[in-house]
Chains A and B, each alone.
Chain A
Amino acid sequence: MTIDDYERAPTVAVEDRQPALPEELRKLWETKPGFLGWLSSVDHKEIGIRYIITAFAFLIAGGVEALIFRLQLAGPNLHLLTPEQYDQLFTTHGMTMIFLYAGPVLTGFSNYLWPLLLGARDMALPRLNALSYWIYLCAGIFLYAAFAFGFGPNDGWFNYVPYAARAYNNGPNIDFYSLGMILLGISTTVGSTNFIVTFLRLRAPGMSINRVPILVWGTLTAAAANIFAIPAVSLAFFLLWMDRNLGTHFFDVPTGGQPLLWQHLFWMFGHPWVYAIVLPAMGMVSDGLPVFCRRPLVGYTVVALATVATMVLGFGVWVHHMFATGLPSVSLSFFSAASIIIAVPSAVGVFAWIATIWTGKPILTTAFLFFANFIVLFTIGGVSGYMTGSVPVDWQLTDTYFVVAHLHYVLIGINVFPVVGAVYFWFPKFTGRMMDERLGRWNFWTMFIGFNVGFFPMHISGLLGMPRRVYTYADGMGWDWLNLITTAGSYLFAIGVLMFLINVVRSYRNGPPAGDNPWDAPTLEWATSSPPPPYNFVVIPTVQSRHPLWEDRLGGETPGHSYVHAGLVLDHGRETVGTSPLDAEPDIILRMPKDSFAPLILSLTLTAIFIALAFNIWWLAIVGGLATGADIIFWLWPERGLGETAEPATNG
């Protein structure tokens, strides 16, 4: 085995009869031990776990911010916080939860799970994967460093002009927010590209697109939406930064600008983003819930199509955030209709999940409780969203606590509950240990009761006219006891989250061993060991159905027989098989990159540019730009080992 040619006849083998193969693959794929190995790793599992842990750190930060300002709002006329402190706290809370937690945590799960679900050895572009994590981390630190120095964003997470303009907001707060969001947008774009390419090229042989798990559909849809939507918000923030720093006139009226341009650009991104941070979570439920109902998901095809349809419609509803801005009534009618129609594909999932429980034999694990009650919360959040899709109702409720209630039912109900359920479900795979079910029940009920006690009264305070974003309120408005209940509920919810964190730490240390497939689940990630080896699968599986591990019991419902422990060997270096986009016919042996420092260095040089722009240090921006360019050239230099140059690929 010295030199491979440009093409090769791959070998196939049965896993059990290759005792030396696992060790051979481990040597090829394992990240070097130690800190330097950690910094250079491109293993999707490592990156996925980092994403999840970092996102939870931001969830805790954002949660603590909320607990502080809920104290301020517990009663009328309280002055725990100054108005400026309150503005920064609630804006940073929104920014953190929406941008630094809700999106990245789902990216983390998908990063970890995708190659395992698809029967691949890594993501299609492993170094880009590392890059997207490092930029995310840098952007999060960048935004939080500004907050720590008292320069956090202070204009609400959607940052409307003119209040965000220099004339009304003179500090550097909005500059940091703008630049941090552009940096974060790069990370999201990079990650989304990687998901799409992985979906199109790295599915196991035979895994045609109608056989991928729904989580894959959810994340794919979100990633595709990000590709088209992220440029809108990055551009909006860049134009705002130029208005504030270079004297341009995009958003100020006297010289021909228009404040509503901000709202259009922001919500053209913002509404698709809302779906991007819930569709993958719905996918996790669509895959996890049926396992505890002991049957396949009802209506796989319609759920997959509804996922895509929701997103397509989601690009045509952004104006429902702007009903009160004085747009022409024909525009309001169109966007109101679109916002109401979107309830149809959204409801498809609800009926599919209910039917799955109804016709299954539910096992009431903690994960099941989180997944099943997500349906309840999603329905409540969906109905309040449907209500505000109607223009006259929206005129009454916009900028009140009703909207706050709606968005928390949607984001906590459809993101946090499925995510916590997903941790209970996949923790055994991540760590090889089970989580504590008893503490899990306490965890679930505390969170569920705390959440509803905390957020349901907000509907009522909104209907009673309480505006959002006020730092305090007068007594005698009928809002006092509702706010007290909300604050009490939010603390109960926080205790529930704390129980979850305690359960994670305790189970990680002392949980009972899980085995490969503790839930007797049907998809490929459960076919490998827990935690999975660096190479994921000893041989590449061949897939003939949606439920490769349930084929014996589903009998005639599956078209053929999958092979999970017999298949392509691919041990001439880091390799995985590339397959055709629709039918997953093998068409290439892909050479995968080794661990590399290039992603880390690139994210540091990029961050240097953004720091330079924040402080207007132009020489540093130029140096950062040159270093970034040099790093990219180094990264893309054609490599023999990756089969990019005229000499044949070697094993080296």
Chain B
Amino acid sequence: MASRIALDGKLPVGAIDTRASGWWAMIFVVFTEASLFAYLLFSYFYLAVQPHLAGTFPQGGPPSLALALPNTAILLLSSVAIGWAQFNIERDDNRRLCWGLGIGAVLGMIFLVIQYFEWAQKPFTLASSSYGSLYFTVTGFHMAHVVVGVIMLWMLFAWSAMGYFNRVRYAHIHIGALYWHFVDAVWLAVFFTFYITPLLGMGS
């Protein structure tokens, strides 16, 4: 032991902020998931520009914004709640961390419920046309991501409530939040593609 020399500077030990390996891994999970959605939306646009009978793409005309627009706002608000939770754990405020995570998770669940009603009122099905296949597949992929995200947020909520995290050890929170912000951001791309581009003249 005597021949070992301790260095002057100290290094943090364990999973710390953006130096945790898991945080880097999540960045590349987000890249690959973003690519998945890029290919999904490519498929939409590729089929949208093929010749179609009038009124079949989007089937029944441009989809209504009545539920989708407020639902988009709800999802974005959930990202704000999670951001607030992240802000607070860095200040060692575990109570507000829990509140932020809980509110974010509940908003995510409200999004899912409204999506259910959105799906239920569609006049077409997964199997009725290429538009129906695209609509339910792409929004379904997104909903699956929201479901995973909501479960993840509740797990983070539970772990926070158990006092696992403080202002040094919060890598799990930041890694989970990164995923959740991605799920919210990618919805904007899905929303723009399915709800806005038909209003701009995409499809027939």
Residues of A within 8 A of B57 (CB): 256
- Contact between B32 and A189, CB atoms less than 8 A apart: yes
- Contact between B3 and A265, CB atoms less than 8 A apart: no
Report how far A229 CA is from B39 CA in the complex, Å: 10
Residues of A within 8 A of B5 (CB): 11-13
* Selected contact of A638 from candidates B4, B36, B168, B172, CB within 8 Å: B172
* Selected contact of A256 from candidates B7, B15, B131, CB within 8 Å: B131
Contact A633 B155, CB 8 Å, known A10-B7, A645-B164 = yes
B169 within 8 Å of A (CB atoms) = yes
- Chain B, 123-138, CB within 8 A of any chain A CB: 126-134, 137
- Contact between B10 and A7, CB atoms less than 8 A apart: yes
Partner-B contacts on A (CB < 8 A): 4-14, 17-18, 124-125, 128, 189, 192-194, 196-197, 200-201, 227-232, 234-235, 239, 242, 246-250, 255-258, 261, 264-265, 268, 569, 572, 575, 577-578, 586-591, 629, 633, 636-638, 642-646, 648-649
- Contact between A197 and B25, CB atoms less than 8 A apart: yes
A265-B39, A590-B21 known; 10 other A-B pairs, CB under 8 Å?
A9-B8, A128-B25, A201-B21, A231-B39, A232-B39, A256-B52, A569-B4, A578-B19, A586-B11, A646-B169
Contact A12 B7, CB 8 Å, known A231-B39, A588-B12, A645-B164 = yes
Contact A8 B43, CB 8 Å, known A230-B32, A239-B137 = no
Contact A265 B43, CB 8 Å, known A13-B5, A124-B24, A586-B11 = yes
Report how far A344 CA is from B172 CA in the complex, Å: 45
Contact A228 B133, CB 8 Å, known A193-B25, A589-B12 = no
Report how far A586 CA is from B29 CA in the complex, Å: 25
| 0/1 interface trace, chain B 165-176, chain A, CB 8 Å (1 if under) | 110110110000
B116 within 8 Å of A (CB atoms) = no
Residues of B within 8 A of A125 (CB): 21-22, 25
**Nearest B residue (CB) for A591:** B14
B120 within 8 Å of A (CB atoms) = no
- Contact between A644 and B15, CB atoms less than 8 A apart: yes
Report how far A643 CA is from B57 CA in the complex, Å: 53
- Chain B, 110-130, CB within 8 A of any chain A CB: 126-130
- Contact between B39 and A197, CB atoms less than 8 A apart: no
| 0/1 interface trace, chain B 27-40, chain A, CB 8 Å (1 if under) | 01101110110111
A-B contact pairs, 13 of them (CB 8 A): A6-B12, A6-B13, A7-B12, A201-B19, A249-B127, A256-B52, A256-B57, A257-B130, A257-B133, A261-B46, A636-B155, A638-B159, A638-B165
- Contact between A644 and B168, CB atoms less than 8 A apart: no
- Contact between B56 and A256, CB atoms less than 8 A apart: yes
B6 within 8 Å of A (CB atoms) = yes
Report how far A248 CA is from B136 CA in the complex, Å: 10
Contact A248 B133, CB 8 Å, known A235-B36, A646-B164, A649-B14 = yes
Report how far A6 CA is from B40 CA in the complex, Å: 44
Contact A8 B24, CB 8 Å, known A250-B43, A256-B56, A629-B151 = no
- Contact between B6 and A11, CB atoms less than 8 A apart: yes
Dominant secondary structure at the A interface: mixed
- Chain B, 32-67, CB within 8 A of any chain A CB: 32-33, 35-36, 38-40, 42-43, 46-47, 50, 52, 56-57
Residues of B within 8 A of A14 (CB): 3
Residues of A within 8 A of B16 (CB): 6, 588, 643
- Contact between B31 and A261, CB atoms less than 8 A apart: no
**Nearest A residue (CB) for B31:** A227
Report how far A4 CA is from B10 CA in the complex, Å: 12
Partner-A contacts on B (CB < 8 A): 3-16, 19, 21-22, 24-25, 28-29, 31-33, 35-36, 38-40, 42-43, 46-47, 50, 52, 56-57, 126-134, 137, 151, 155, 159, 163-166, 168-169, 171-172
- Contact between B47 and A258, CB atoms less than 8 A apart: yes
Report how far A287 CA is from B145 CA in the complex, Å: 42
- Contact between A643 and B6, CB atoms less than 8 A apart: no
Residues of B within 8 A of A646 (CB): 163-166, 168-169
Residue among B5, B9, B13, B132 with max Cβ neighbours from chain A (10 Å): B13
- Contact between A261 and B43, CB atoms less than 8 A apart: yes
* Selected contact of A642 from candidates B14, B40, B137, B165, CB within 8 Å: B14
Report how far A256 CA is from B151 CA in the complex, Å: 36
- Contact between B35 and A124, CB atoms less than 8 A apart: no
Residues of B within 8 A of A649 (CB): 13-14
B101 to nearest A CB, angstroms? 14
* Selected contact of B13 from candidates A227, A229, A588, CB within 8 Å: A588
Residues of B within 8 A of A235 (CB): 36, 39-40, 43
B128 to nearest A CB, angstroms? 8
Contact A17 B3, CB 8 Å, known A7-B10, A227-B32, A228-B31 = yes
- Contact between B24 and A200, CB atoms less than 8 A apart: yes
A222 to nearest B CB, angstroms? 14
B115 to nearest A CB, angstroms? 19
Residues of B within 8 A of A248 (CB): 126-127, 130, 133, 137
- Contact between B127 and A228, CB atoms less than 8 A apart: no
**Nearest A residue (CB) for B167:** A646
- Contact between B130 and A264, CB atoms less than 8 A apart: no
Contact A250 B6, CB 8 Å, known A5-B13, A589-B12 = no
- Contact between B29 and A193, CB atoms less than 8 A apart: yes
The 5 closest A-B pairs by CB, nearest first: A643-B14, A256-B130, A247-B127, A248-B133, A231-B36
- Contact between A18 and B3, CB atoms less than 8 A apart: yes
Residues of B within 8 A of A636 (CB): 155, 172
Report how far A20 CA is from B4 CA in the complex, Å: 13
Report how far A242 CA is from B134 CA in the complex, Å: 11
